[in-house]
């Protein structure tokens, strides 16, 4: 059954200057487990509560099955972020809750492994996902939310053209606690950095 899920992942790849993004694959399991385990204390304050087996092969396979299904029904598009040249896994970014009809919007969330944080990699990765969201999917609006005290994420989003839209009270349960978030959004025709070097967007 797992092999059937794995075959559904598309051949999408979008390249920037220093990183590229593509959907997760079965072969990424070892790097993912190692990076998540090494970054556990760094990530826990910013994420939903970790289960006891959060950084294990079993957890990765659960996520991969969910990622594949989301791609299949076009409601979510998960990507891993890799370093150009070395193909080293740096983190992940997901466009989720994609709504069509009169909305044409989606939400992004992301994580970066502790050894790679603060080096500009996620800024580039978010810009690549915005290219996919607007140019491939044809969305009108992409949203993001971050904890009020996450100054690094708020700066990142501002640099990429997102606008702060207000505080959403008890918006997400992060690290076991309902917490307020600052909401952000960027529209298709808002100014944003153009850094895509090459894009193969075969998501069918």
Which DSSP string do the residues of 157-189 spell out, in sequence order? HHHTT-EEEEEEEEEEEETTEEEEEEEEEEETT
pLDDT tens for residues 48-95? 999 999 999 999 999 999 999 999 999 999 999 999 999 999 999 999
Instruction: Extract the tokens encoding 88.
Output: 């080293």
Per-residue pLDDT at 5: 45
pLDDT tens for residues 167-196? 999 999 999 999 999 999 999 999 887 776
What is the model's pTM?
Answer: 0.91
CA distances from 126 to 6, 38, 51, 72, 202 (A): 24, 23, 27, 22, 19
Per-residue pLDDT at 111: 98
Query: Alpha-carbon Rg of the chain, whole angstroms?
Result: 16
Per-residue pLDDT at 10: 77
Which residues, including other chains, have CB under 8 Å from residue 10's CB and lie 6 or more apart?
A: 23, 71, 202, 203, 204
Residue 6 has pLDDT above 90, yes or no: no
Which runs of E-coded beta strand occur in 47-201? 77-83, 89-99, 105-112, 141-147, 163-174, 177-187, 198-200
Strands 13-15 and 19-22: antiparallel
Distance CA 83, CA 20 (A): 7
Domains of the chain: 2-200 (3.40.630.30)
């Amino acid at each position: 059954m797992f092999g059937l899920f794995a075959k559904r992942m598309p051949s999408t790849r979008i390249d920037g200057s220093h990183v590229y993004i593509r959907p997760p694959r079965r072969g990424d399991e070892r790097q993912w487990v190692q990076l998540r385990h090494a970054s556990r204390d760094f990530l826990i304050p910013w994420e939903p509560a970790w289960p006891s087996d959060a950084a294990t092969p079993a957890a990765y396979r659960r996520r991969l099955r969910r990622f594949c299904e989301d791609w299949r029904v076009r409601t979510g598009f998960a990507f891993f972020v890799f370093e150009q040249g070395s193909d080293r896994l740096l983190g992940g970014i997901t466009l989720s809750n994609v709504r069509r009809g009169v909305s044409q919007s989606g939400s992004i969330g992301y994580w970066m492994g502790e050894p790679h944080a603060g080096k500009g990699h996620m800024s580039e990765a978010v810009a690549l996902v915005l290219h996919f969201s607007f140019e491939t999917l044809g969305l009108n609006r992409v949203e993001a939310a971050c904890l009020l005290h996450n100054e690094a994420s708020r700066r990142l989003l501002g640099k990429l053209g997102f606008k702060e839209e207000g505080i959403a009270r008890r918006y997400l349960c992060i690290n076991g606690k309902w917490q307020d978030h600052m909401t952000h959004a960027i529209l298709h025709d808002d100014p944003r950095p153009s850094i895509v070097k090459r894009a193969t967007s075969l998501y069918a």
